[in-house]
Amino acid sequence: MGSAKSHSLLPSVEQFSNELWLVHGLADRTIDAYRADLVNFGSWLTQHNGQSLLQAQNLDIEAWLASLLERKISARSVARYTASLRRFYQYLTTNGQVAQDPTMRLGKIKIPHRLPNTPTQDEVASLLDITDLNSHQGLRDKAMLELLYATGIRATELSDLKLEDFDFKNRVIRVCGKGNKERLVVYGEEAAFWLDLYLSRSRPALRRDYLCNHVFLSVRGKKISTGVLRLVVKKHASNKGIERPLSTHSLRHAFATHLLDAGADLRVIQELLGHACISTTQIYTFVATERLVTLHSRFHPRNDDKADLKQGEETRIRLRSTSLR
Protein backbone atom coordinates (compact mmCIF):
# COMPACT_ATOMS: atom_id res chain seq x y z
CA MET A 1 0.00 0.00 0.00
CA GLY A 2 1.38 3.31 -1.08
CA SER A 3 0.45 6.06 1.38
CA ALA A 4 1.48 6.67 4.95
CA LYS A 5 -2.12 6.27 6.00
CA SER A 6 -2.11 2.81 4.40
CA HIS A 7 0.70 1.72 6.68
CA SER A 8 -1.51 2.44 9.72
CA LEU A 9 -3.65 -0.48 8.56
CA LEU A 10 -0.94 -3.00 9.22
CA PRO A 11 -1.21 -3.39 13.02
CA SER A 12 -4.86 -4.52 12.93
CA VAL A 13 -4.19 -6.77 9.94
CA GLU A 14 -1.14 -8.32 11.59
CA GLN A 15 -3.02 -8.84 14.86
CA PHE A 16 -5.77 -10.56 12.90
CA SER A 17 -3.20 -12.70 11.07
CA ASN A 18 -1.60 -13.74 14.35
CA GLU A 19 -5.01 -14.79 15.70
CA LEU A 20 -5.64 -16.93 12.61
CA TRP A 21 -2.33 -18.71 13.21
CA LEU A 22 -2.22 -18.96 17.01
CA VAL A 23 -5.90 -19.57 17.80
CA HIS A 24 -7.32 -21.16 14.68
CA GLY A 25 -4.20 -22.90 13.38
CA LEU A 26 -4.69 -21.87 9.75
CA ALA A 27 -2.00 -22.64 7.21
CA ASP A 28 0.47 -19.94 6.17
CA ARG A 29 -0.88 -19.82 2.61
CA THR A 30 -4.43 -19.27 3.88
CA ILE A 31 -3.30 -16.48 6.20
CA ASP A 32 -1.33 -14.88 3.35
CA ALA A 33 -4.49 -14.93 1.23
CA TYR A 34 -6.48 -13.18 3.97
CA ARG A 35 -3.75 -10.58 4.37
CA ALA A 36 -3.56 -9.92 0.61
CA ASP A 37 -7.35 -9.47 0.39
CA LEU A 38 -7.32 -6.94 3.24
CA VAL A 39 -4.37 -5.06 1.77
CA ASN A 40 -6.18 -4.82 -1.58
CA PHE A 41 -9.33 -3.47 0.05
CA GLY A 42 -7.29 -1.07 2.20
CA SER A 43 -5.49 0.29 -0.85
CA TRP A 44 -8.80 0.83 -2.65
CA LEU A 45 -10.25 2.64 0.39
CA THR A 46 -7.26 4.96 0.64
CA GLN A 47 -7.32 5.82 -3.06
CA HIS A 48 -11.08 6.45 -3.24
CA ASN A 49 -11.93 8.28 -0.03
CA GLY A 50 -8.80 8.43 2.11
CA GLN A 51 -10.22 6.10 4.78
CA SER A 52 -8.61 3.27 6.68
CA LEU A 53 -9.91 -0.25 7.22
CA LEU A 54 -11.09 0.76 10.70
CA GLN A 55 -13.26 3.51 9.17
CA ALA A 56 -14.90 1.44 6.42
CA GLN A 57 -18.69 1.41 6.18
CA ASN A 58 -21.09 -1.03 4.57
CA LEU A 59 -21.45 1.17 1.48
CA ASP A 60 -17.67 1.27 1.03
CA ILE A 61 -17.46 -2.53 1.03
CA GLU A 62 -20.41 -2.88 -1.36
CA ALA A 63 -18.84 -0.31 -3.71
CA TRP A 64 -15.52 -2.18 -3.71
CA LEU A 65 -17.14 -5.56 -4.37
CA ALA A 66 -19.21 -4.00 -7.17
CA SER A 67 -16.03 -2.56 -8.72
CA LEU A 68 -14.48 -6.05 -8.70
CA LEU A 69 -17.47 -7.51 -10.56
CA GLU A 70 -17.35 -4.64 -13.07
CA ARG A 71 -13.71 -5.55 -13.73
CA LYS A 72 -14.89 -9.09 -14.58
CA ILE A 73 -13.33 -10.59 -11.44
CA SER A 74 -14.91 -14.03 -11.04
CA ALA A 75 -17.81 -14.51 -8.62
CA ARG A 76 -15.72 -17.13 -6.83
CA SER A 77 -12.93 -14.62 -6.16
CA VAL A 78 -15.39 -11.94 -5.04
CA ALA A 79 -16.97 -14.45 -2.67
CA ARG A 80 -13.52 -15.13 -1.20
CA TYR A 81 -12.89 -11.40 -0.74
CA THR A 82 -16.27 -11.12 1.00
CA ALA A 83 -15.44 -14.01 3.34
CA SER A 84 -12.09 -12.39 4.21
CA LEU A 85 -13.75 -9.09 5.08
CA ARG A 86 -16.48 -10.78 7.12
CA ARG A 87 -13.96 -12.65 9.23
CA PHE A 88 -11.74 -9.61 9.68
CA TYR A 89 -14.53 -7.29 10.80
CA GLN A 90 -16.03 -9.93 13.09
CA TYR A 91 -12.60 -10.10 14.73
CA LEU A 92 -12.42 -6.29 15.05
CA THR A 93 -15.95 -6.08 16.47
CA THR A 94 -15.30 -8.82 19.01
CA ASN A 95 -12.13 -7.07 20.16
CA GLY A 96 -13.74 -3.63 20.35
CA GLN A 97 -11.68 -2.06 17.59
CA VAL A 98 -14.79 -1.07 15.63
CA ALA A 99 -18.22 -0.25 17.07
CA GLN A 100 -20.24 -2.05 14.40
CA ASP A 101 -19.51 -4.77 11.88
CA PRO A 102 -19.85 -3.18 8.39
CA THR A 103 -20.24 -6.60 6.73
CA MET A 104 -23.41 -7.56 8.62
CA ARG A 105 -25.78 -6.56 5.81
CA LEU A 106 -23.69 -7.86 2.93
CA GLY A 107 -25.57 -10.15 0.57
CA LYS A 108 -24.31 -13.59 -0.37
CA ILE A 109 -22.37 -13.90 -3.62
CA LYS A 110 -23.82 -16.64 -5.82
CA ILE A 111 -21.05 -18.89 -7.14
CA PRO A 112 -21.74 -20.83 -10.35
CA HIS A 113 -21.79 -24.59 -9.81
CA ARG A 114 -18.47 -25.90 -11.16
CA LEU A 115 -17.70 -29.60 -11.28
CA PRO A 116 -14.15 -30.84 -10.72
CA ASN A 117 -12.04 -31.68 -13.75
CA THR A 118 -11.92 -35.42 -13.13
CA PRO A 119 -9.93 -37.75 -15.39
CA THR A 120 -11.41 -41.10 -16.32
CA GLN A 121 -9.92 -44.36 -15.06
CA ASP A 122 -8.40 -44.93 -18.51
CA GLU A 123 -6.76 -41.50 -18.46
CA VAL A 124 -5.34 -42.13 -14.98
CA ALA A 125 -4.04 -45.54 -16.06
CA SER A 126 -2.35 -43.90 -19.06
CA LEU A 127 -0.80 -41.17 -16.90
CA LEU A 128 0.55 -43.71 -14.42
CA ASP A 129 2.04 -45.86 -17.19
CA ILE A 130 5.45 -44.20 -16.97
CA THR A 131 7.99 -45.89 -19.21
CA ASP A 132 11.12 -44.04 -18.02
CA LEU A 133 11.73 -46.34 -15.06
CA ASN A 134 15.45 -46.75 -15.66
CA SER A 135 16.20 -43.26 -14.31
CA HIS A 136 15.97 -42.05 -10.72
CA GLN A 137 13.65 -39.21 -11.72
CA GLY A 138 11.38 -41.56 -13.62
CA LEU A 139 11.13 -43.96 -10.69
CA ARG A 140 10.48 -41.05 -8.32
CA ASP A 141 7.73 -39.68 -10.59
CA LYS A 142 6.10 -43.10 -10.78
CA ALA A 143 6.07 -43.47 -6.99
CA MET A 144 4.70 -39.94 -6.49
CA LEU A 145 1.87 -40.27 -8.99
CA GLU A 146 0.89 -43.72 -7.73
CA LEU A 147 0.77 -42.39 -4.17
CA LEU A 148 -1.25 -39.31 -5.15
CA TYR A 149 -3.88 -41.47 -6.83
CA ALA A 150 -3.82 -44.15 -4.12
CA THR A 151 -4.39 -41.70 -1.27
CA GLY A 152 -6.04 -38.57 -2.67
CA ILE A 153 -3.67 -36.36 -0.68
CA ARG A 154 -2.95 -32.78 -1.75
CA ALA A 155 0.27 -31.77 -3.50
CA THR A 156 1.43 -29.80 -0.44
CA GLU A 157 0.74 -32.82 1.76
CA LEU A 158 2.81 -35.09 -0.49
CA SER A 159 5.62 -32.54 -0.59
CA ASP A 160 5.70 -32.35 3.22
CA LEU A 161 5.79 -36.12 3.81
CA LYS A 162 8.68 -37.40 5.94
CA LEU A 163 9.87 -40.94 6.53
CA GLU A 164 8.53 -40.95 10.09
CA ASP A 165 5.02 -40.26 8.75
CA PHE A 166 4.86 -43.77 7.26
CA ASP A 167 3.81 -47.06 8.79
CA PHE A 168 5.26 -49.14 5.97
CA LYS A 169 4.14 -52.47 7.44
CA ASN A 170 0.45 -51.52 7.51
CA ARG A 171 0.64 -49.10 4.55
CA VAL A 172 -0.67 -46.14 6.56
CA ILE A 173 0.47 -42.50 6.36
CA ARG A 174 -0.02 -39.76 8.92
CA VAL A 175 -0.83 -36.64 6.90
CA CYS A 176 -0.85 -33.06 8.17
CA GLY A 177 -3.49 -31.20 6.18
CA LYS A 178 -5.13 -27.78 6.15
CA GLY A 179 -5.18 -26.04 9.50
CA ASN A 180 -2.48 -28.45 10.73
CA LYS A 181 -5.13 -31.13 11.17
CA GLU A 182 -3.74 -34.65 11.14
CA ARG A 183 -5.45 -37.64 9.55
CA LEU A 184 -4.52 -41.18 8.57
CA VAL A 185 -4.67 -42.36 4.97
CA VAL A 186 -3.97 -45.80 3.54
CA TYR A 187 -2.42 -46.93 0.27
CA GLY A 188 -2.56 -50.21 -1.64
CA GLU A 189 -0.12 -52.80 -2.89
CA GLU A 190 0.61 -51.12 -6.23
CA ALA A 191 1.62 -47.81 -4.66
CA ALA A 192 3.53 -49.70 -1.93
CA PHE A 193 5.59 -51.57 -4.54
CA TRP A 194 6.69 -48.41 -6.36
CA LEU A 195 7.25 -46.47 -3.15
CA ASP A 196 9.50 -49.22 -1.75
CA LEU A 197 11.43 -49.39 -5.02
CA TYR A 198 11.94 -45.63 -5.06
CA LEU A 199 13.06 -45.57 -1.41
CA SER A 200 15.56 -48.36 -1.89
CA ARG A 201 17.00 -47.40 -5.28
CA SER A 202 16.38 -43.75 -6.21
CA ARG A 203 16.02 -41.73 -3.02
CA PRO A 204 19.56 -42.58 -1.83
CA ALA A 205 20.91 -41.43 -5.19
CA LEU A 206 18.94 -38.16 -5.11
CA ARG A 207 19.75 -37.39 -1.50
CA ARG A 208 22.43 -34.72 -1.01
CA ASP A 209 21.64 -33.44 2.46
CA TYR A 210 21.67 -36.24 5.00
CA LEU A 211 19.67 -34.08 7.39
CA CYS A 212 16.77 -33.96 4.92
CA ASN A 213 14.16 -36.49 5.99
CA HIS A 214 11.52 -35.72 3.37
CA VAL A 215 10.42 -38.68 1.29
CA PHE A 216 10.32 -37.16 -2.18
CA LEU A 217 13.39 -35.24 -3.29
CA SER A 218 14.28 -32.97 -6.18
CA VAL A 219 17.33 -33.49 -8.39
CA ARG A 220 19.14 -31.15 -5.99
CA GLY A 221 18.40 -33.45 -3.09
CA LYS A 222 15.94 -31.09 -1.40
CA LYS A 223 12.27 -31.52 -0.51
CA ILE A 224 10.33 -31.55 -3.77
CA SER A 225 8.20 -28.44 -4.37
CA THR A 226 4.58 -28.31 -5.44
CA GLY A 227 5.74 -26.45 -8.56
CA VAL A 228 7.89 -29.41 -9.59
CA LEU A 229 4.97 -31.74 -8.86
CA ARG A 230 2.76 -29.76 -11.23
CA LEU A 231 5.41 -29.97 -13.94
CA VAL A 232 5.76 -33.73 -13.41
CA VAL A 233 2.03 -34.26 -14.00
CA LYS A 234 1.99 -32.01 -17.08
CA LYS A 235 5.08 -33.69 -18.51
CA HIS A 236 3.75 -37.24 -18.26
CA ALA A 237 0.25 -36.23 -19.41
CA SER A 238 1.82 -34.63 -22.48
CA ASN A 239 4.00 -37.70 -23.12
CA LYS A 240 0.86 -39.86 -23.14
CA GLY A 241 -1.09 -37.50 -25.38
CA ILE A 242 -3.79 -36.87 -22.77
CA GLU A 243 -5.80 -33.89 -24.03
CA ARG A 244 -7.62 -33.13 -20.78
CA PRO A 245 -5.73 -30.50 -18.71
CA LEU A 246 -4.40 -32.38 -15.69
CA SER A 247 -2.86 -31.25 -12.42
CA THR A 248 -1.91 -32.87 -9.13
CA HIS A 249 -5.40 -32.01 -7.89
CA SER A 250 -6.89 -33.95 -10.81
CA LEU A 251 -5.58 -37.13 -9.19
CA ARG A 252 -7.27 -36.11 -5.92
CA HIS A 253 -10.54 -35.64 -7.82
CA ALA A 254 -10.03 -39.00 -9.53
CA PHE A 255 -9.37 -40.74 -6.20
CA ALA A 256 -12.65 -39.48 -4.74
CA THR A 257 -14.81 -39.96 -7.84
CA HIS A 258 -13.55 -43.45 -8.64
CA LEU A 259 -14.08 -44.56 -5.02
CA LEU A 260 -17.61 -43.19 -5.17
CA ASP A 261 -18.22 -44.95 -8.49
CA ALA A 262 -17.16 -48.20 -6.82
CA GLY A 263 -19.67 -47.73 -4.01
CA ALA A 264 -17.55 -46.20 -1.23
CA ASP A 265 -19.39 -44.35 1.54
CA LEU A 266 -19.29 -40.56 1.22
CA ARG A 267 -18.35 -40.11 4.89
CA VAL A 268 -15.33 -42.38 4.44
CA ILE A 269 -14.21 -40.37 1.41
CA GLN A 270 -14.66 -37.17 3.43
CA GLU A 271 -12.36 -38.52 6.13
CA LEU A 272 -9.73 -39.72 3.66
CA LEU A 273 -9.70 -36.38 1.85
CA GLY A 274 -9.55 -34.40 5.08
CA HIS A 275 -12.63 -32.30 4.30
CA ALA A 276 -13.97 -30.45 7.33
CA CYS A 277 -17.49 -30.34 5.86
CA ILE A 278 -19.39 -33.12 4.07
CA SER A 279 -20.80 -30.56 1.60
CA THR A 280 -17.31 -30.16 0.13
CA THR A 281 -17.15 -33.90 -0.55
CA GLN A 282 -20.66 -34.00 -2.00
CA ILE A 283 -19.45 -32.26 -5.16
CA TYR A 284 -18.15 -35.67 -6.26
CA THR A 285 -21.68 -37.09 -6.21
CA PHE A 286 -22.54 -34.59 -8.97
CA VAL A 287 -19.56 -35.82 -11.01
CA ALA A 288 -20.63 -39.44 -10.54
CA THR A 289 -24.25 -38.60 -11.45
CA GLU A 290 -23.17 -36.68 -14.55
CA ARG A 291 -21.08 -39.66 -15.64
CA LEU A 292 -24.01 -42.04 -15.10
CA VAL A 293 -26.27 -39.83 -17.22
CA THR A 294 -23.68 -39.74 -20.01
CA LEU A 295 -23.21 -43.52 -19.93
CA HIS A 296 -26.94 -44.10 -19.93
CA SER A 297 -27.39 -41.76 -22.87
CA ARG A 298 -24.62 -43.48 -24.84
CA PHE A 299 -25.33 -47.15 -24.17
CA HIS A 300 -28.94 -47.74 -23.17
CA PRO A 301 -30.78 -49.26 -26.15
CA ARG A 302 -33.84 -47.04 -25.68
CA ASN A 303 -31.65 -43.97 -26.20
CA ASP A 304 -30.33 -45.29 -29.52
CA ASP A 305 -31.21 -43.24 -32.57
CA LYS A 306 -31.79 -46.21 -34.88
CA ALA A 307 -34.48 -46.66 -37.48
CA ASP A 308 -36.47 -49.13 -35.37
CA LEU A 309 -36.90 -46.45 -32.67
CA LYS A 310 -37.97 -43.71 -35.05
CA GLN A 311 -41.32 -45.40 -35.41
CA GLY A 312 -41.72 -45.11 -31.64
CA GLU A 313 -40.98 -41.40 -31.82
CA GLU A 314 -43.64 -40.98 -34.52
CA THR A 315 -46.12 -42.79 -32.28
CA ARG A 316 -45.30 -40.48 -29.35
CA ILE A 317 -45.83 -37.40 -31.53
CA ARG A 318 -49.18 -38.74 -32.73
CA LEU A 319 -50.31 -39.55 -29.17
CA ARG A 320 -49.48 -36.06 -27.95
CA SER A 321 -51.88 -34.55 -30.47
CA THR A 322 -54.66 -37.14 -30.04
CA SER A 323 -57.51 -36.71 -27.58
CA LEU A 324 -58.08 -39.66 -25.29
CA ARG A 325 -61.50 -41.27 -24.96
CB 4 within 8 A of CB 52: no
Same-domain status, 150 and 216: yes
Q: Is residue 251 part of a domain?
A: no
Residue 90 sits in the same domain as residue 127? no
Give Rg (Cα) of the chain: 26
Helix, strand or coil for residue 185?
A: strand
Q: Where are the beta strands (DSSP E) in 28-152?
A: none
The pLDDT, as a whole number, for residue 279 is 60
> Residues 131, 208: one domain?
yes
The model's pTM is: 0.60
Domain region containing 65: 4-94
CB 60 within 8 A of CB 51: yes
DSSP 116: -
pLDDT given for residue 212 in this prediction: 85
CB atoms within 10 A of CB 131: 10
Q: What are φ and ψ of residue 104, in 5° steps?
A: -60, -35
Q: Report the pLDDT value the prediction gives residue 179, as an integer from 0 to 100.
A: 73
E strands, 177-285, are: 182-186
Same domain as 218, residue 134: yes
Q: Specify whether 175 is located in the same domain as 237.
A: yes
CB-count burial class (<10 Å; 0-12, 13-18, 19+) for 166: middle
Regions of the chain with pLDDT less than 70: 1-10, 109-116, 266, 275-325
Q: Which of 244, 266, 283 is the last residue of a domain?
A: 244
Residue 316 lies in a domain: no
Choosing from 75, 94, 113, the residue where a domain stops is: 94
Specify the pLDDT at position 307: 47
**What pLDDT, on a 0 to 100 scale, did the predictor assign at position 253?**
86
One domain, residues 59 and 152: no
Residue 64 shares a structural domain with residue 157 = no
Say yes or no: 78 and 128 in one domain. Answer: no
Q: Are residues 140 and 237 in the same domain?
A: yes
Please identify every residue annotated as catalytic. 154, 178, 249, 252, 275, 284
Residue 186 lies in a domain: yes
Residue type, 94: T
Q: Would you say residue 308 lies in a domain?
A: no
Tally the domains of the chain.
Answer: 2
C-alpha distances (whole Å) from 276 to each of 182, 272, 273, 305 are: 12, 11, 9, 45
What pLDDT, on the 0 to 100 scale, is given for residue 194? 95
- Same-domain pairing of 189 and 83: no
In Å, how far are 74, 144, 203, 211, 277 from 219, measured between CA atoms?
Answer: 38, 14, 10, 16, 38
- Short-list 45, 87, 86, CA closest to 67: 45
Whole-number pLDDT of residue 318: 62
DSSP state of 101: -
Q: How far apart are CA 31 and CA 48, in angstroms?
A: 26
Residues 189 and 239 in one domain: yes
Q: What is the pLDDT of residue 68?
A: 87
Residue 5: predicted pLDDT: 39
252 is a domain residue: no
The answer to whether residue 169 sits within a structural domain is yes
Q: Are residues 17 and 83 in the same domain?
A: yes
